[in-house]
Amino acid sequence: MGRKFFVGGNWKMNGNKAGIDGIIAFLKAGPIDPNVDVVVGCPAIYLDYARQQCPDNVQVAAQNAYKVPSGAFTGEISPAMIADIGLQWVILGHSERRAIFGESDELVAEKTKHALDAGLKVIACIGETLAEREAGQTEAVVFRQTAAIAAKITDWTNVVLAYEPVWAIGTGKTASPQQAQEVHAKLREWLKEKVSPEVSDSLRIIYGGSVTAGNAKELGQEGDIDGFLVGGASLKPDFIQIINAKQ
Ligand SMILES: O=C(COP(=O)(O)O)NO
């Protein structure tokens, strides 16, 4: 198996330069487990500011990007621009992009394909709503979302899949380790059948949704949970404990 643990932070539309200075300070202080990949998603306007200050063991990611290199798309940024300022990562398909900004499975898949083709690495987000879970549709939803991406890409090397049940995001209602592990394992089975055993075995599937220093260790002990995508808790020093959850 040997998948390197991966902990992402998602600052969402939060902070300012002073706040970023504070986050960078605790990231620099660490200590950060060298066996963990750490990537923090920063608002686009501060990407270069954060990049200039982040320690070498932390990568800065954009939280979104469009599906073409340039053009008449007011307000958007492209993977080429993200790469141009020296960044490697982008978060795509977050449930807030899907629910609030109407991003379809198809658009997320096109964005993922284009970002990978532009040389970026992608944290691709999927996850069901509470209504979908209560209707017994969890697997159907996450398989549908993953299938849309699988239809566009062939090389998963630079992809990290983030399973983020929408009902756990920002609610304090974390999925139990058993609930999260069950979906991660089903996703790995799906990948083995529909993509390849190699991708199924090597792809990191990370969990997001109210991860805290208090629940990260237990979640991280599950065999198919390869890390986290952390929102609120990534803005505070406790994020270091989450990064080191496997220690
Ligand atoms: O949206 C999230 C999770 O947010 P919270 O940790 O605040 O639930 N990650 O991308």
Concerning whether 114 is annotated as a catalytic residue, the answer is no
Q: Is 207 helix (H, G, I), strand (E, B) or coil?
A: strand
Q: Within the chain, what is the greatest distance between any pair of CA atoms?
A: 48
Instruction: Tell me if 65 sits within 8 A of 79, measured CB to CB.
Output: yes
| Pocket probe mutation, ligand 1, options 122, 230, 236, max atoms within 8 Å of Cβ | 230
Report pLDDT for 99: 98
Q: Report ipTM (2 d.p.).
A: 0.99
Q: Which of 92, 96, 99 is nearest to 149 (CA)?
A: 92
| Pocket probe mutation, ligand 1, options 6, 7, 10, max atoms within 8 Å of Cβ | 10
**What CA–CA distance (Å, rounded) separates 7 from 229?**
6
Report pLDDT for 2: 87
H helix or E strand, kind and range, residue 177: helix 177-194
Question: Which domains can be identified in the chain, with CATH numbers?
Answer: 5-243 (3.20.20.70)
Q: Which residues of the chain have pLDDT under 50?
A: none
For residue 169, report the distance from its CA to the centre of ligand 1, in Å.
5
The active-site residue, picked from 132, 164, 184, 218, is 164
Report pLDDT for 111: 98
Residues touching ligand 1 (Cβ under 6 Å) are 10, 94, 164, 169-170, 208-211, 229-233
| Pocket probe mutation, ligand 1, options 6, 12, 243, max atoms within 8 Å of Cβ | 12
- DSSP-derived secondary structure letter, 3: P
H-state helical runs in 36-137: 47-53, 79-84, 95-99, 105-117, 130-134
Kindly give the number of the ligand 1 atom that is closest to the alpha carbon of 211.
6
Instruction: Tell me if 210 sits within 8 A of 236, measured CB to CB.
Output: no
Radius of gyration of the chain (CA): 17
For residue 209, report the distance from its CA to the centre of ligand 1, in Å.
5
Concerning whether 94 is annotated as a catalytic residue, the answer is yes
For residue 21, report the distance from its CA to the centre of ligand 1, in Å.
21
Contacts for 234 with CB less than 8 Å, ≥ 6 apart: 8, 9, 10, 11, 23, 40, 242
Report pLDDT for 1: 61
